[in-house]
């Protein structure tokens, strides 16, 4: 299998690349990144099957030329509200299968609109195979498959800000907490203020119990397409409460309401965050997610809880790598644009994440290892 990793030298993409490079099924691995020096250094580190090239994601013709001839393209160029649809249009034109770690709700809605074009091109495009969405969605599918009726699916994430140095992650967070964001209530998409719906949820360690709130993510967009549920929500939060408060203030001051403002603010934060994150920094940082599914089994109400934890690069990058490998193995088939809960076999997918070092849990206390 020949794979090209778009943005493969970035903070999240490089974990996917390292895992793919260790896979015997992958015969050729191209690391395509705007930062060609980083891509070349990574390729040299990983061995002969890896090569590097420069890629400008704003140049459609260049992207089509870059991905043509590969079996699967991995999309890791963020922020995805800028680049997911651009990458998808390129792979569709080139006739190449696609797996992305897209985590922006509007980008997700945009790529779903390309479903007909992807089917016509004969390709499979799986959007949002990362931490959240990704792990959260597959856990929702695993739980839903055990019930006769699904009432509510509540997905959530939490992280230490210091758990990543990725610049696109900063822009994603700013985007996710700005303005009105989608959730799914009583059978329809409803727009609610980002930051509303404050709730305290227990996550696996080292995150622990944390306040979370509505944030802009794809789960409420995709999960109701594939799982019949009355309500689907996504809430998230950072361990560093002072950063949450600062972000909320900047949103209220309307310093995040345009793409240009987000870019300027993101650049500022990426310069100062390495210093701010050291304030009260814990011995161990981490990222976690949780999926709560409520429904009926044989007429009785049932509440199923699953969770996961790891460092952000692993919990984001490994799921995408596993999905790429499963496509190459013929274990994931179909055409068009779909989300992971629609096509990835939950048990095998989660077993491979567990084997790769992501800690999986079940039960409300988030301390019992998931039975796989």
CATH value at residue 49: 3.40.50.720
**Do 292 and 177 belong together in one domain?**
yes
Better pLDDT: 172 or 90 = 90
367 in any annotated domain: no
| 283: CATH | 3.30.360.10
CA distances in angstroms from 94 to 8, 61, 71, 76, 237, listed in the order given = 19, 10, 10, 18, 38
Closest of 46, 287, 10, 247 to residue 163, by C-alpha: 287
**Do 92 and 146 belong together in one domain?**
no
Say if residue 92's pLDDT is above 90: yes
Say if residue 270's pLDDT is above 80: no
366 in any annotated domain: no
Strands annotated E in the chain:
2-6, 28-33, 50-54, 72-75, 97-100, 124-126, 149-159, 180-185, 188-193, 199-202, 209-214, 231-238, 287-297, 300-310, 336-338, 359-362, 368-369
**Do 149 and 9 belong together in one domain?**
no
DSSP 289-326: EEEEEEEEETTEEEEEEEEEEE-HHHHHHHHHHHHHHH
3-state secondary structure 9-77: CCCCHHHHHHHHHCCCCCCEEEEEECCHHHHHHHHHHHCCCEEEEECCCCCHHHHHHHHCCCCEEEECC
Tokens 């993510």 — which residue? 217
**Do 265 and 291 belong together in one domain?**
yes
Per the structure, the count of domains in the chain is 2
pTM of the model: 0.93
pLDDT tens digit sequence for 191-221: 999 999 999 999 999 999 999 999 999 999 9
363 in any annotated domain: no
**Do 218 and 69 belong together in one domain?**
no
Task: Write down which residue in 276, 291, 310 finishes a domain.
Answer: 310
pLDDT tens digit sequence for 336-346: 999 999 999 99
- pLDDT for position 162: 83
178 in any annotated domain: yes
N- to C-terminal Cα distance for the chain? 28
**Do 122 and 143 belong together in one domain?**
no
**Do 247 and 116 belong together in one domain?**
no
- pLDDT for position 248: 76
**Do 61 and 179 belong together in one domain?**
no
365 in any annotated domain: no
**Do 25 and 51 belong together in one domain?**
yes
User: Mean pLDDT throughout 10-30?
Assistant: 96
272 in any annotated domain: yes
- pLDDT for position 156: 98
**Do 143 and 213 belong together in one domain?**
yes
**Do 150 and 262 belong together in one domain?**
yes
368 in any annotated domain: no
User: Domain range holding 274?
Assistant: 135-310
**Do 77 and 152 belong together in one domain?**
no
| Cα three-residue angle 318-138-172, rounded to 5 degrees | 60
């Amino acid at each position: 299998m020949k794979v090209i990793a778009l943005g493969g030298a970035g903070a999240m993409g490089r974990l996917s690349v390292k895992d793919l490079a260790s896979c015997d099924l992958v015969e050729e691995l191209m690391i395509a990144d705007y930062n060609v020096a980083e891509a070349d250094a990574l390729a040299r580190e990983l061995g002969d099957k890896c090569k590097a090239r420069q890629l400008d994601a704003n140049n459609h013709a260049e992207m089509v030329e870059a991905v043509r001839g590969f079996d699967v393209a991995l999309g890791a160029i963020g922020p995805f509200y800028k680049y997911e649809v651009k990458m998808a249009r390129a792979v569709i034109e080139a006739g190449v299968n696609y797996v992305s770690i897209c985590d922006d709700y509007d980008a997700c809605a945009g790529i779903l609109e390309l479903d007909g074009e992807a089917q016509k091109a004969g390709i499979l495009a799986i959007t949002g195979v990362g931490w959240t969405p990704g792990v959260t969605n597959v856990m929702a599918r695993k739980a839903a498959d055990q019930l006769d009726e699904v009432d509510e699916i509540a997905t959530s994430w939490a992280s230490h800000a210091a758990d990543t140095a990725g610049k696109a992650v900063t822009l994603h967070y700013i985007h996710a907490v700005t303005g009105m964001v989608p959730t799914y209530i009583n059978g329809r998409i409803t727009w609610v203020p980002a930051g509303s719906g404050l709730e305290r949820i227990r996550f696996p360690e080292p995150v622990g119990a944390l306040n979370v709130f509505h944030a802009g993510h794809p789960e409420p967009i995709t999960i109701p397409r594939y799982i019949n549920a009355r309500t689907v929500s996504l809430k998230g939060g950072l361990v560093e409460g002072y950063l949450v408060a600062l972000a909320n203030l900047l949103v209220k001051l309307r310093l995040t309401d345009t793409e240009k403002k987000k870019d300027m603010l993101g650049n500022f934060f990426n310069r100062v965050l390495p210093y701010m994150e050291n304030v009260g920094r814990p011995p161990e940082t981490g990222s976690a997610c949780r999926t709560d599914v409520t429904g009926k089994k044989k007429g009785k109400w049932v509440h199923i809880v699953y969770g996961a934890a790891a460092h952000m690069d692993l919990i984001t990058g490994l799921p995408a790598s596993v999905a790429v490998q499963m496509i190459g193995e013929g274990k994931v088939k179909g055409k068009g644009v779909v989300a992971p809960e629609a096509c990835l076999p939950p048990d095998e997918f989660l077993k491979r994440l567990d084997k790769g070092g992501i800690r999986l849990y079940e039960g409300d206390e988030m301390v019992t290892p998931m039975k796989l």
